[in-house]
Amino acid sequence: MAFEQPALPYAVTALEPHMTAQTFEFHYGKHHAAYVTNLNNLTKDTPMATMSLEEIIKATFGDASKAGIFNNAAQVWNHTFFWKSMKPNGGGAPTGELAAKIDASFGSLDKFKEEFKAAATTQFGSGWAWLIKDGDGLKITKSGNAENPIAHGQTPLLTLDVWEHAYYIDFQNRRPDFITTYLENLVNWDFAAANLAA
């Protein structure tokens, strides 16, 4: 059975003016779609064709001979998770257990934002910034290219794509502005809270 690109959880215009339909046309319509096509081509007629993305990510991480499969499987997973990490009228503040864990792990929501911005800004080249579950607390990590917390047996709660294709149409080279916009206007705290509770 072929891997399929999941539908976006909102319309391509739903995050405007912060993320435009043109960005989705390229980022979702071309980049994400290409990873799905590539993964299907690489796994066709192999046992991996029936595995989950998570299983493929764990089975191929660190194996140079399977780097192409890992990169495409992880990017399909990462992008699907990224779309859910945002929502129309996002931002604001988390509530409940998530808010308590952010305060306990970082000191305050503002301190979390400061550390998350630093991780996302200093990820050299292409990659991702993550909020992950770390024991009883939370932790911010960053990863290069397609690498993600799943490969390390960790539980991600949120992610931000800092590959240039994620922001160049709307923000040109202003990655810090894109990161701030994500945290202030797009981040989906409900999705993070659901991942924490799962």
pLDDT (tens digit per residue) in 99-154? 999 999 999 999 999 999 999 999 999 999 999 999 999 999 999 999 999 999 99
Q: Give 5's DSSP letter.
A: P
What integer is the mean pLDDT of 13-22?
98
- Token pair 């990659």 in the structure block, residue: 127
Amino acid at 93: A
Identify any residues that bridge with 187 across adjacent strands, giving them in sequence order: 86
| Residue 14 in tokens | 């739903």
d(CA 164, CA 174): 10
At 1, is the pLDDT very low, low, confident or very high (cuts 50, 70, 90)?
Answer: low
| Angle (CA) 107 111 116, round 5° | 125
Q: Give 90's DSSP letter.
A: -
pLDDT (tens digit per residue) in 27-70? 999 999 999 999 999 999 999 999 999 999 999 999 999 999 99
> Which regions of the chain carry the CATH code 3.55.40.20?
96-197
> How are the residues of the chain apportioned to helix, strand and coil, as percentages rounded to the nearest 5?
55, 15, 30
Phi, psi of 105 (to 5 degrees): -85, -30
| Residue 49 in tokens | 């064709």
Cβ–Cβ under 8 Å, residues 131 and 50:
no
What integer is the mean pLDDT of 75-96?
98
Cβ–Cβ under 8 Å, residues 151 and 5:
no
* CATH 1.10.287.990 for the 21-84 domain, yes or no: yes
At 91, is the pLDDT very low, low, confident or very high (cuts 50, 70, 90)?
Answer: very high
> Which regions of the chain carry the CATH code 1.10.287.990?
21-84
Cis peptide bond prior to 156, omega within 30° of 0: no
- pLDDT of 40 reads 97
Q: What's the CATH architecture for 96-197? A: 3-Layer(bab) Sandwich (3.55)
